[in-house]
């Protein structure tokens, strides 16, 4: 099935589930990367390479999981509706624009779901790439990375708030509070001297 860029954009704009998946998986990717970065910081890891590999490994796993899970769920739901439509119309719709549209939406939504967590994680580890290249100190990379997390969370809050027509400041603070909770729980975990 040949897909062009304009069709992808159209599906993303028309299908509100694509926006929901984008926000949910970006949020998951951001908080996962934050958790890994905090854990490595608290463990006093000073190797940018270890941080990059750890975050990218988790991002790839989340991306594959997001794509696979969304594809499986979306395909099953859309296929069921497609078969019901065929039954109501008493007509085989295989190979038609209806089937093509179903597959296009399934693939695009799955890609949004898979790519969003990877994009969030990659953005967050950029300071460690600079640190690995000796352009930033590791402590600076940690701090800048945490600031990027805060910006991503606030940005998602503003995005969600604008969609819901709510106060965007309150919405941004709600998203930021999740990052604060991850930070507090990570610090509390570090203080437990079991390990």
pLDDT tens over the chain, length 195 residues? 666 767 767 777 777 788 888 999 999 999 999 999 999 999 999 999 999 999 999 999 999 999 999 999 988 987 888 788 778 777 776 666 777 778 888 888 899 999 999 999 999 999 999 999 999 999 999 999 999 999 999 999 999 999 899 999 999 999 999 999 999 999 998 777 655
Contacts of 176 (CB under 8 A, 6+ apart): 150, 153, 154, 157
Q: What is the pLDDT of residue 129?
A: 97
Q: What is the pLDDT of residue 118?
A: 95
DSSP 134: T
Q: What's the whole-model pTM score? A: 0.85
Q: What is the pLDDT of residue 151?
A: 97
Q: What is the pLDDT of residue 102?
A: 80
- Domain boundaries defined on the chain: 5-187
DSSP 167: -
Rounded CA separation 40/66 (Å): 25
Q: Per the structure block, which two tokens stand in for 104?
A: 């296009």
Please check whether residue 128 is in contact with residue 53, taking contact to mean a CB–CB distance below 8 angstroms: no
Coarse DSSP helix, strand, coil percentages of the chain, rounded to the nearest 5 percent: 85, 0, 15
Contacts of 102 (CB under 8 A, 6+ apart): 78, 79, 81, 82
């Amino acid at each position: 099935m040949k897909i062009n860029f304009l069709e992808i954009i159209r599906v993303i704009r028309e299908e509100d589930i694509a926006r929901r998946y984008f926000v949910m998986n970006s949020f998951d990717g951001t908080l996962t990367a934050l958790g890994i970065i905090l854990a490595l910081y608290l463990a006093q890891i000073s190797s940018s390479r270890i941080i990059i590999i750890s975050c990218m490994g988790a991002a790839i796993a989340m991306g594959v999981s997001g794509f696979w899970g969304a594809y499986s769920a979306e395909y099953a739901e859309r296929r069921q509706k497609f078969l019901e439509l065929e039954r109501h119309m008493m007509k085989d719709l295989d190979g038609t624009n209806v089937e093509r549209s179903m597959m296009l939406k399934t693939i695009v939504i799955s890609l949004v779901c898979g790519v969003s967590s990877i994009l969030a994680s990659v953005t967050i580890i950029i300071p460690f790439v600079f640190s690995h290249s000796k352009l930033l100190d590791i402590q600076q990379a940690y701090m800048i990375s945490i600031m990027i997390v805060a910006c991503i969370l606030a940005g998602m809050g503003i995005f969600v708030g604008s969609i819901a027509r709510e106060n965007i400041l309150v919405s941004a603070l709600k998203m930021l509070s999740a990052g604060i909770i991850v930070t507090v729980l990570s610090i509390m975990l570090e203080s437990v001297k079991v390990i």
